[in-house]
């Protein structure tokens, strides 16, 4: 398990690389490190609070061309005359009004580390810049809300066929 803390004059970043031990473990780590940073540096105005989730989804694939629309609900619409699609890159920015945040959603195929599989990313960056929370309680509350929305976004992005691979 690899954990990273990145400190810049205007940034505090906590990263967890695979294997991911779950939200509770990650959140405890964030809260501990955030508290330590504040003890050392004092209060600074917060301009952005966000969480980024990059998920790689692996699907069995014996053919080199995968019909991503069978596995994803997010993909570019390509005219039939230009098929098959061997690769794609998608980016969308979506306002999440229920939590006053912006979702930057990216998806693209990536090389699979597994034989006879295809892999693609669902990359979510959910953040609030305007009216960023300033107290620990407000920050913790927003992060918990982001976590819930992140799960809903992921589920909305995959098809029932993809969900079968997680069973």
Q: Are 159 and 70 in contact (CB under 8 A)?
A: yes
Tokens 């098929």 identify what position?
Answer: 83
Q: Domain-by-domain residue ranges, the chain?
A: 1-44, 48-164
Per-residue pLDDT of the chain in tens (167 residues, 90 and over written 9):
577 777 777 777 788 777 788 899 889 988 998 898 888 888 788 889 999 999 999 999 987 778 888 999 998 888 989 888 878 899 999 999 999 999 999 999 999 999 999 999 999 999 999 899 999 999 999 999 999 999 999 999 999 999 998 87
Q: Rounded to two decimals, what is the model's pTM?
A: 0.87
Using one digit for the tens of pLDDT, what is the confidence trace for 47-74? Answer: 899 999 999 999 999 877 788 889 999 9
- How much is the pLDDT for 60? 92
User: 42 — phi, psi (to 5°)?
Assistant: 80, -175
Structure-token pair, residue 3 = 């954990």
Query: 142: which residues sit within 8 A by CB, 6+ positions away?
Result: 49, 99, 101, 128, 133
Q: Are 72 and 90 in contact (CB under 8 A)?
A: no
Helix (H, G, I), strand (E, B) or coil at 70: helix
- How much is the pLDDT for 1? 58
In angstroms, the CA 151 to CA 99 distance is: 14
How high does pLDDT run on average in the chain?
A: 90
């Amino acid at each position: 398990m690899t954990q990273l803390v990145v400190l810049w004059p205007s940034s505090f970043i906590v990263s967890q690389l695979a294997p991911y031990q779950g939200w509770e473990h990650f959140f405890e780590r964030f809260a501990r490190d955030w508290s330590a940073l504040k003890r050392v540096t004092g209060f600074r105005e917060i301009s952005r609070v966000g969480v980024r989730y990059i998920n790689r989804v692996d699907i069995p694939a014996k053919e080199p061309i995968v019909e991503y629309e069978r596995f994803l609900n997010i993909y570019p619409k390509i005219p039939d005359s230009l098929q098959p699609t061997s690769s794609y890159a998608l980016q969308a920015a979506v306002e999440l009004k229920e939590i006053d945040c912006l979702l930057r959603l990216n998806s693209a195929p990536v090389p699979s580390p597994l034989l006879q599989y295809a892999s693609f990313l669902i990359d979510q960056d959910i953040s609030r810049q305007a009216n960023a929370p300033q107290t620990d309680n407000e920050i913790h509350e927003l992060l918990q809300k982001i976590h819930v929305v992140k799960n809903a976004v992921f589920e909305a992005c995959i098809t029932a066929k993809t969900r079968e691979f997680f069973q």
